[in-house]
Chains A and B, each alone.
Chain A
Amino acid sequence: MPGKLKVKIVAGRHLPVMDRASDLTDAFVEVKFGNMTFKTDVYHKSLNPQWNSEWFKFEVDDEDLQDEPLQITVLDHDTYSANDAIGKVYIDIDPLLYSEAATVISGWFPIYDTIHGIRGEINVVVKVDLFNDLNRFRQSSCGVKFFCTTSIPKCYRAVIIHGFVEELVVNEDPEYQWIDRIRTPRASNEARQRLISLMSGELQRKIGLKVLEMRGNAVVGYLQCFDLEGESGLVVRAIGTACTLDKLSSTAAFLPACNSPSKEMKESPLVHPPSHGCRSTHNSPIHTATGSRLTQNFSVSVPTLIYTGMGSGSAGKEGGPFKALLRQQTQSALEQREFPFFTLTAFPPGFLVHVGGVVSARSVKLLDRIHNPDEPETRDAWWAEIRQEIKSHAKALGCHAVVGYSESTSICEEVCILSASGTAAVLNPRFLQDGTVEGCLEQRQEENLPAGCGFCHIPYDELNMPFPAHLTYCYSCRKQKVPDVLFTTIDLPTDATVIGKGCLIQARLCRLKKKAQAEANATAISNLLPFMEYEVHTQLMNKLKLKGMNALFGLRIQITVGENMLMGLASATGVYLTALPTPGGIQIAGKTPNDGSYEQHISHMQKKINDTIAKNKELYEINPPEIPEEIIGSPIPEPRQRSRLLRSQSESSDEVIELDLSHGKKDAFVLEIDDTDAMEDVHSLLTDVPPPSGFYSCNTEIMPGINNWTSEIQMFTSVRVSRLSNINLTNQTLNKNFNDLCENLLKSLYFKLRSMIPCCLCHVNFTVSLPEDELIQVTVTAVAITFDKHQAVQTTKTHVEKSLQRASTDNEELLQFPLELCTDSLGSHPFSPAKATSIDYSSFADRCNSWIELIKLKAQTIRRGSIKTTVSVEKASPLTEGHFRQRSAPACANSTVGVVKMTPLSFIPGAKITKYLGIINMFFIRETTSLREEGGVSGFLHAFIAEVFAMVRAHVAALGGNAVVSYIMKQCVFMENPNKNQAQCLINVSGDAVIFVRESELEIISTQQPIASCQPACGGGEIAT
C-alpha cells in the first residue's frame, strides 16, 4: 500500500439548469479511483454549489496510481428517477508522483460531457502521499519523469542519454464491442475515454520501468500515439529517449558550472572563426524503403535526386583514421542497444558529430483482430521490423545512430501504413556513457571539435557512397567533404552557421488509386509508395533550390492513405548553411529542342524561375560571402554544358563571375519537361506564394536568422475539410486542389495574424487525413511569435564573449545562432549592426503592456489559493510581483482566470522556465446529434477545439503552472454524418506543464547572474555540458 490519494471537492459554478421547473440543479459529486467510489452530499437548488467535502482518501498501490485516472462525475440528484449525469473530469495524477513536479493539483476544472461539451466548472483539490517502497521487483515506475520536449528540458542537465525506449499496449475498442449496440453514445464515449486514459497510464508505467532498468530517471521526447484500428482494436504506443537528468539548482550550481565550460572554450578553437580542424563526413538526401507483408518485405531504396557529376578523388584522408577512431568509440557505446535511436531534435552542444541524412522506412500492413490483448506481438513485430530497416539505412550512411526519430501510422479500413523516419548521425559517445563532466571536457579538447560546420561533414566513406551525391570541400573549414544538400529531421543545431533567414518548404502530392480490398489494396499501395516518396523528394529539392537554399531541417513526410487515393505532405524548414556549397539553379530542358515556339516557351519559364530564385535570395537575405576559387580546390569533374542556367542568379555585378563559376561546378539541377506531369511540376513550383512581408514561417522550433523575439505568442489550431468534386478526378486536378487547399490555408493564417507583424509562424505542423472518399482534412497547429525588427541582438565586438556565454548556457541558445555570422561575413550581416554594443531592454519593457501585468496578477490569485512550492521558485515566480496594478477598466476588476500560454515550442520567448510540473496527455471525444443546431460542422469543431484548449489550460493552472510547452495535437479525427445531423470528433493532445518567469522579472530577482542580463532570449541558469 505505497500511496494514499486524497481528494476534496470544494465547489461548483456555472452548472447547467437540470430541473426545468425550478431552473436550478441539485448537484452532487462522485469521486472514483479504481474500484472505490465516494460521494458528496447533494447541494440542493443551486447552480453554484458549495460542497466543501471532507478529504476522500484512497489507499492504493503505486501501480494503480500510475495507471488509473481520477474520475470525478457531477450528477443531478433526482428523487424519483435515475440521477442525471452533468459531466465528468478526468485528472491524471501522474504529475504528483515525482518529487520535483507538482505537489498538489488544485483549481477549477471544466466539467465535460461528451455530448454537451463543457457544462460548468468544479473546484477540486488532489494530493498524494507516497510511501517509500523498497521492493526491487515492483511493477511501478513512480519517479521517472516524462517530457514531451524533444530536447534536454531547460532546467536540467543531461548526465547520460541512454537511448530509445518504446512500448505498446493493445485493447479492443469499446466502440466496436457488441455492447455498444445497446448503450448510449455517451456511455460508449466515456468507456473509450476511460480506456485510453488507462492504457496511457499503463504505457507510461511500462516505459518508466524500462527507463529504470537502463538506470535512467527520465524520458525526454516522449511521444504517445493512438491507432484506432477499428474492428481490429485500439493500439496505444509510445517512444521516447531515456536519460539521466540532473536538476540544475539554479543559483548554487550556476557559477561553477558555467565557468568551467567557458574556460574550456577559450582554449578551444570553437569560438574562433571556423577555419581549421575539420574532418570529413557527409550526408545523404534520403534513404527509403517500403515493405509489405504481402510482398515479403521488399525493400526499395529510392534515389531522390538526379545528380550528375559526382565528387571523386580522395581528399580528406587525414581525417580518416580519426573518423574511424570516433566511430569505434561511438559504436561500442551504441552497440549494446537494440535500436540506437533518439527522439530528440535538439542536443547538448557537442553531442551531434556528423549528420548523414534522412532515413525512413514504410511498411504496408493488413490489420486483423488482435486476438490476445495481453500479447501484442504482431504490432511489436511490425515496428521492430521497421526499426531494423531504419537501423540498416543508418548503417549504410556510415552512421551508428538515428536522431530526430519518430513513428507514425495511417489507417484506412483494414490497411495500415507504418512509417518511421529519422536522421542518421554520428554521435559523441561521451553523453552515452557514464562519465564525469571533467572527463568529457578533456575528451572534447583532444578531439578538437570543429564548430559550426562539423555536423555537415559526411560520415560515410566517399569512395563507397551509399547513393550518388555530389561532394565538395566544406565551405567553412575547407578541410572536409560536405554534400551539396543536407536533409534532416532535427532542429538546426545551435552551433550551425547559416546565412539569411529560413523558410517553410512543403511538398504536396496526391495519387489516385483504385478502390480495392484487402491484399490487392495493400499491394496497390505499396506499389505506389516508392513513386510518391520519389516525387515528394523531387519537389522538396526543386523548391529548396528555388529558394536558393541548401539544407532542410525538421523534415517530416506524412503519407496518408484513403479509400481511393494516397496523399503525401512533406514539410521542412529550408536554410542556407554556410558550410555547404551555394545551390545551383534549376535548368529546364525541353524534349524537342528544335521547335521554335516551344523553345521560346521554355526560355520564358527559365527566366521566370531564375527571377524567382533571385527574388527569394533577396527575400530571405541569402547573400553568402564569395569564396576565392583557390581555397576550394576542385576535385570535381568538369560540368556539362549548362551555360543557360548560369544567367541572372545574382544582382550584384561583381558577383556574377564568381557565381557563374561556382554554378558551373555545382552541377545544376535539370528539370526535363517532357510530359505534362513535369510541366505541372514547374507550374506548381512557381505558384507557391511567399508569405506577405513581415511574415516568416518555419516548422522547426525557431526560425533560423531571427533571434530578437519579443514576448507575444499566439498558438492556434486551424482545421479545414474540403470536398472534392468526384467527377473526373485526375492526379493533376487532385494535386492542384490539394496544393490550393494548403496554400489558401497558409494565406488565411497570414491574414488572421496580420496584427502581429513582424512575426514568425514557428513549428508549423500540418497533418492530412482522408476521413471519407472525397474529403481531405488538413489540420495545422503552430505558434506565431512576434519579433523586433529593429533590435539586433548581437555585435561583432562582443562576439567572442557572447559565444562563450552561448556555449555555456543551453539549448535556449538556439535563438542565438546567427551570432557566428558576424565574424565570417561582416559585410553581409543580415542585421543592422548599428545598435551594437548592448542590448536594449527598454523596448522589451514597453511591450510588457497592461495585459502582461494582468497575467502576473492573475497567476498570483490562482497560486495563492493552491500551492506551496520551494522558496527559490516562489521567489522567482511572477506571483510575488505585487506592485503590478490592474487598470481601472471595470471588466478587469474581478477576473480570476489566470492566463495559461500554450506553445508547440520547448521555450517561451523572453521568459525562463523555472519548473516542469509534469506531462499533460489528454484524450477527448465529442459527439453531437444536433449538428445543425450547434452551427454545423464548423461550429461543432470550433467549439470543441476551444474546449480542449480550455481543459488543457485548466489542468495546467491546477498544477500551479502558467504555460504548456511542446504542446502537440497528435490526433484530430473528425467524422460527420450531416444527413443524420450527427458528428463525432476525437482529439488527443499532449505537452509539458511548466512555470515560467518573465526574463525582465528574473533580472530584478537575480542580478547576480550576469549572463541572464546579456541575452534576452535565454535563461542563463542552465548548462548542458
Chain B
Amino acid sequence: MTNELDIFVGNTTLIDEDVYRLWLDGYSVSDAVGLRVRSGILEQTGATAGVLQSDTMDHYRTFHMLERLLHTPPKLLHQLVFQIPPSRQALLIERYYAFDEAFVREVLGKKLSKGTKKDLDDISTKTGVTLKSCRRQFDNFKRVFKVVEEMRGSLAGNIQQHFLLSDRLARDYAAVVFFANNRFETGKKKLQYLTFGDLAFCAELMIQNWTPGAVGEQPPDPPPYSQVDDMDVDLDKEFLQDLKELKVLVADKDLLDLHKSLVCTALRGKLSVFPEMEANFKNLSRGLVNIASKLTHTKDVRDLFVDLVEKFIEPCRSDRWPLNDVRLFLNQYSASVHSLDGFRHQALWDRYMVTLRSCLLRMYHD
C-alpha cells in the first residue's frame, strides 16, 4: 500500500527550521531524510522513517510554494495564503537570502550574468556547496542586483526596504552588488586569502566615501542638474578624475623626499621595521599614488585589490611588518601630507587615504 497523496496544511503554516536549512542547502528529500535520521530525531521522538519521509516531503512542498513569494519578500508579508507569524516570516527571508562564504568568494566581482551561471557547476564542485544552493544564492544576488541597480539613495537601505533583510545582511548584499557592478577582481590566487568579510568591509568604506552619494547629504529633491546617476553603486567619476592630481606626490621628487623625511622623522624608533620602511618608502608611496591616479581606467578599477596586494601588502608582508607598524606607517603617511606646503589637494588626499588606509589595514593579514 503506497501513499499517493499525503499532505498536511495548518492554519498557521508550520515551519521546521532544520528542514528549512536542509532545503536551502539544496538536499533532495531522500538526502534530507537521511541526514535527519542521522541527527537522531527518530530516537528522540519515537517516529518511524516513513513519518519522517512524509514530514520532509510536506515541508519541502511548503517551501517550494513559499519560494515564489520569497523572491519578493514584501509579497510574503501581504499574501493571504500562508498565515505565518512575523518572526517566522523574518526568519524565512533572512535564511533564504543568507549565503555561503565559500560561494560568495567565488562569484564576488563577477558579472551576474547567464554565462557565469554555467560556471556554477564548477563552483559547486569546488566549494562543496550543492548546485541547487549555488543556484539559489546566485539568483538571489542577481535579483537583488537588478532591483537596486538603478535606484537612488542608500544601497543598503534600498536592499533592506525591498528585501526586508536584517541590517547586517543588507550591508553584505550592498557589498555584493557594489563588487558586481564595479567588477572588482577578487578571484586571483594572491587574493584568495581575503575573506568575504574583508572585502565587504572595503566595499562599505568605498560606498561611504568614494561614490557620488558620499559627498555630503543629498537633498530629498535633487535639483534637475544634479546627476541622476546611481548614487551608491558606481564610484564617483569626478573623484576618480581628480585622483590624477595626487600623482604630483611621487612625480615631484622634492615633494616625495620631503614626504619621506617627514614620515621617517616621525616614526624613527617607533617601528620595528624602520630600516625596511625607510628603504621601501618610495616604492610604497609610488604604488599607492599610482593606484589612485590610474583609477579612471575601468580595467584598473577592476584590478584595485590586486594592485593593493601587489604594491603594498606583499612588499610589507615579505619584510614581515607587524600589523601595528603598518598602522603607524599608514597613519603617518597620510597625516604628513598635510605638512607638505606645495600640495594643494588635501581634501582629495583625505578622501582617498582614509578609505584606503582602513582597507589596507583590514586586508593586512595572512
Q: Given that A939-B61, A945-B9 are known contacts, is A754 also in contact with B1, CB under 8 Å in the complex?
A: no
Chain A interface residue number, banded: 35 or more
List the one stretch of B84-92, B274-282, B333-341 in contact with chain A: B84-92
Give the interface centre of B3, B5, B83 by most chain A CB atoms within 10 Å. B5
Contact of A945 among B7, B74, B75, B83 (CB under 8 A): B7
Contact A946 B5 (CB under 8 A): no
**Which A-chain residue is minimally distant from B163 (CB atoms)?**
A890
Check A896 against B2 for contact (C-beta < 8 Å).
no
Shortest B317–chain A CB gap in Å is: 41
Is A941 a contact partner of B7 (Cβ separation < 8 A)?
yes
CB contact under 8 A between A974 and B46, given known A13-B78, A895-B86, A901-B11: no
In Å, the complex CA distance between A854 and B83 comes to 13
Interface string of B329-355 (1 = CB under 8 A from A): 000000000000000000000000000
> In whole Å, how far is A850's beta carbon from the nearest beta carbon of chain B?
6
Expressed in whole angstroms, the minimum distance between the Cβ of B91 and any Cβ of chain A is 8
Interface stretch among A3-11, A71-79, A223-231, A947-955? A947-955
> What per-residue 1/0 map shows which CB atoms of B6-24 lie under 8 Å from chain A?
1111111110000000000
A747 contacts B by Cβ under 8 Å: yes
Q: B243 near A: Cβ within 8 Å?
A: no
Does B86 contact A892, Cβ atoms closer than 8 Å? Answer: yes
Which B residues lie within 8 Å of A749 (CB)?
8
How far does the alpha carbon of A937 sit from the alpha carbon of B48 in the complex, in Å? 24
Q: 1/0 contact trace for B224-259 toward A, CB 8 Å?
A: 000000000000000000000000000000000000
**Of A850, A896, A939, A941, which contacts B78 at CB under 8 A?**
A896
Give the docked Cα–Cα distance between A737 and B1 (Å).
Answer: 7
The closest CB in chain B to the CB of A899 belongs to B83
Q: Determine the residue in chain B with the shortest Cβ distance to A738.
A: B1
Interfacial residues of chain B within 37-80, with CB under 8 A of chain A in the complex = 45-48, 50-52, 54-55, 57-58, 61-62, 64-65, 73-80
Flag whether B82 is at the interface (Cβ < 8 A): yes
Q: What is the bound-complex CA distance between A747 and B53, given in angstroms? A: 12
How far is A747 from B14 in the complex, measured between Cα atoms in Å? 17
Does B166 interact with chain A (Cβ within 8 Å)? yes
Contacts of B78 in A (CB 8 A): 13-14, 895-897
Given A895-B78, A897-B77, A718 and B90 contact (CB-CB distance below 8 Å): no
A14 to B87, CA, bound (A): 23
- CB of B1 within 8 A of CB of A897, answer no
User: With the chains together, A949 CA to B79 CA distance in Å?
Assistant: 13
- The residues in A between 699 and 717 inclusive whose CB is less than 8 angstroms from any CB of B are 714-717
A439 to chain B, nearest CB (A): 44
List the B residue with the shortest CB-CB distance to A744. B50
**Does the CB pair B93–A891 fall under 8 Å?**
yes
In the complex, which residues of chain A have a beta carbon less than 8 angstroms from the beta carbon of B51? 744, 747-748, 751
The answer to whether B1 and A887 touch across the interface, beta carbons within 8 angstroms, is no
Tell me the bound Cα distance from A751 to B14 in angstroms: 12
Are the C-beta atoms of B90 and A118 separated by less than 8 Å? no
- One digit per residue, 1 when the CB lies within 8 angstroms of any chain B CB and 0 when it does not, for chain A 723-746 equals 111000000000001001100100
Q: Report how many A-B pairs have Cβ atoms within 8 Å.
A: 167
- Chain B min CB distance to A767 (Å): 14
Inter-subunit contact A748/B54 (CB<8 Å): yes
Q: Is the CB of B80 within 8 A of A716?
A: no
A720 contacts chain B at the CB level, 8 A cutoff: yes
Cross-chain contact A851 with B86 (CB below 8 angstroms): yes
Q: Chain A residues near B11: list those with CB within 8 A.
A: 714-716, 901-902, 949, 953
Interface string of A875-916 (1 = CB under 8 A from B): 000000000001101111111110111100000000000000
Question: How far is B85's CA from A974's CA once the two chains are assembled, in angstroms?
Answer: 30
Contact with B along A585-600 (1 / 0, CB 8 A): 0000000000000000
Report the bound CA distance from A13 to B78 in whole Å: 10
Q: Which residues of B contact A974 (CB under 8 A)?
A: 5
Pair B10/A715 contact, Cβ less than 8 Å: yes
| Residue in B closest to A740 when the chains form the complex, CB atoms | B1
Q: How near does chain B come to A938, taking the closest CB pair, in angstroms?
A: 5
Least Cβ distance of A888 to chain B in Å? 10
| Contact for A719 among B5, B46, B74, CB less than 8 A | B5
Count chain A CB atoms within 10 A of each CB in B6, B89, B93 and give the residue with the most.
Answer: B6
Contact of B90 with A889 in the complex, beta carbons under 8 Å: yes
Query: Which residues of the other chain, A, contact B77 by a CB distance below 8 angstroms?
Result: 891, 894-897
A901 nearest in chain B by CB position:
B11
Are B80 and A108 closer than 8 Å at their CB atoms? yes
A442 to chain B, nearest CB (A): 46
User: In the complex, which residue of chain B has the Cβ closest to the Cβ of A121?
Assistant: B80
> With A and B bound together, what is the CA distance between A719 and B62 in angstroms?
15
A946 lies within 8 A of B2 (CB) = no
> Please, what's the 1-or-0 string for A774-801, where 1 marks a CB less than 8 Å from any CB in chain B?
0101000000000000000000000000
Is the C-beta of A752 less than 8 angstroms from some C-beta in chain B? yes
On whether the beta carbons of A725 and B55 are closer than 8 Å, the reply is: no
Chain A residues, Cβ within 8 Å of B65: 939, 942-943, 946
Instruction: Give the docked Cα–Cα distance between A740 and B85 (Å).
Output: 34
Q: Is the CB of B82 within 8 A of A890?
A: no
B4 within 8 A of A: yes
A2 lies within 8 A of chain B by Cβ: no
Check: B296 CB closer than 8 A to any chain A CB. no
Do A890 and B75 form a contact, CB below 8 Å, given A118-B81, A692-B45? no
Interface positions of A (Cβ within 8 A of B): 13-14, 108, 110, 118, 121, 692, 714-725, 737, 740-741, 744, 747-752, 754, 775, 777, 850-851, 854, 886-887, 889-897, 899-902, 935, 937-939, 941-943, 945-947, 949-950, 953-954, 974
The residues of B with any CB-CB pair to A shorter than 8 Å are 1-14, 45-48, 50-52, 54-55, 57-58, 61-62, 64-65, 73-83, 85-87, 89-90, 93-94, 160, 164-166
Between A and B, 10 residue pairs with Cβ closer than 8 Å are A747-B48, A748-B55, A752-B8, A850-B86, A890-B166, A892-B86, A897-B78, A942-B61, A946-B9, A953-B11
